Structure 1
Amino acid sequence: MKYRTVFDIIGPVMIGPSSSHTAGAARIGRVARTIFARQPDKVEITFYGSFAKTHKGHGTDIAIVGGVLDFDTFDKRIVDSLAIADEQGVEVVFRIDDEETPEHPNTARVKLTDKAGNMLEIVGISIGGGKIEIIEINGFKLKLSGNSPTLLVLHEDRFGMVAGVSNVLTKYQINIGAMEMARRAKGSEALMVIETDQELPEKLVQEIESMPYILSASVVLP
């Protein structure tokens, strides 16, 4: 059985008109929603480069909001996403940045907040054919494709943290496909991004979250 995911690369099923500007944008929004793990009360979206110039004509605005509402690329509700967000009490704010030169022309910054004070900010790029990369999460620079189950671990920057998390993955017989580390400064907060060959059971994530100096652990599924 073939599973269709928010990260399909070739020939994505989508609401048109453009895989880069529509399918890719929807996937950026949906990754933000997946990591945030709840419906936000406010969505702030900043478009850069080509997205800034053509987002209305290509439907990038409605696509990225549809993704935040957890709609897949082929969901017909995407065309009404702005109205649906309003009906559900989700405030949507769009901003255009014409001054900053982005790493890629199809770049968007998505900030999600809720009334409890929770906040997530990601920067995503749509690189063509519906494929995306997340290049920043809450100020941490990284490169997340989402093609594999991915574990995100926010922790204090202390000795032995990578070994501790790796030991838990070994306990559950999880093979690491790729691993990336980022930190704000020596001894401050750090982020582990671990792509795996197997799905990550909830018990594993809970065990990592219970470790000393772990601030949060979450999973982005393909």
Structure 2
Amino acid sequence: MAEKSSIFDMIGPVMIGPSSSHTAGVVRIARAAIRILGSLPTHATVTFYNSFARTYEGHGSDRAIVAGLLGMNTDDVRIREAFDHAKEAGLQYTFQGVGNASTMHPNTIRVQLRDERTAHTVEVVGQSRGGGVIRIVEVDGFPSDFSGSLHTLILDADDAKGSIAFIASVIAHDDCNIATMLVSRKGKNDVARQFIEIDSGIKDITLAYLRQLSWVHRVTYIPTID
């Protein structure tokens, strides 16, 4: 006997179409990237991989990524005219495609951003998993694994003994429960990057405390991504 389908099985994110993978997910990857950058970029280089490389123009992923880089939400009607809004905002961008990256998820995007006003740069690799669901799998060469559906804390800190336990303790005292944690480093005793997903928002005073620690170099807090 076939299973009955439910209306809830067919509901996806509220979005501008045509596809949750090619538009909503792409917008959310871009929104994650600008939050990591800490501002709207002035320059962007976007690389589409595999199936995205073959379809990004026809399915509107190019407009979606630009819209997200301008801070638009997935349901913003301005997505359709994202290129015009980018011109008004002074955002310069280039697109390129790599159709045969066999080690990457079929719907992968690499976003390299620069804000000339602050001299900040960031490189983010994200995957669009369908239904608007994303995974951010790399930030500035550090492996990561977060979705943006939870609050995310990114810390650059000295690779010192006890540092991970200390950060976890600070978060616990803020009554925040850690859902996932991934720690990456490029070498022993080098700077380590911690990616921490938490179930609830973290207080400003806690972020300020973490930022003033001498062995913590940078703290980036990303509330849930629309």
Q: Same fold (TM over 0.5)?
A: yes
Q: How is 1:12-161 mapped onto 2 (pairs within 5 angstroms)? A: 12-115=13-116, 116-161=118-163
Partner of 2:6: none
| Structure 2 unaligned blocks of 5 or more | 1-9
Asked if the contact 2:51/2:99 (under 8 Å) is kept, the reply is: no
| 1:196 Cα deviation after fit | 1.2
SS in 1 for 2:164: helix
TM-score (norm 1): 0.92
Change (3 A) 1:13 1:195: same
CA-atom RMSD, angstroms? 1.5
- Aligned sequence identity (%): 38
Asked if the contact 1:13/1:73 (under 8 Å) is kept, the reply is: yes
| 1:166 Cα deviation after fit | 1.7
Spell out, residue by residue over 1:160-189, the C-alpha distance to the aligned partner (whole angstroms, 9 max, x if none).
211221221122222212211111111112
TM-score (norm 2): 0.90
Asked if the contact 1:10/1:130 (under 8 Å) is kept, the reply is: no
Instruction: Give distance in 2, aligned partners of 1:201 and 1:97.
Output: 41
Change (3 A) 1:72 1:178: same
Partner of 1:168: 170
Instruction: Give distance in 1, aligned partners of 2:219 and 2:166.
Output: 13
- Equivalences, count: 214
Instruction: Give distance in 2, aligned partners of 1:147 and 1:10.
Output: 17
| Structure 1 unaligned blocks of 5 or more | 1-8
Asked if the contact 2:127/2:135 (under 8 Å) is kept, the reply is: yes
Instruction: Give distance in 1, aligned partners of 2:219 and 2:149.
Output: 19
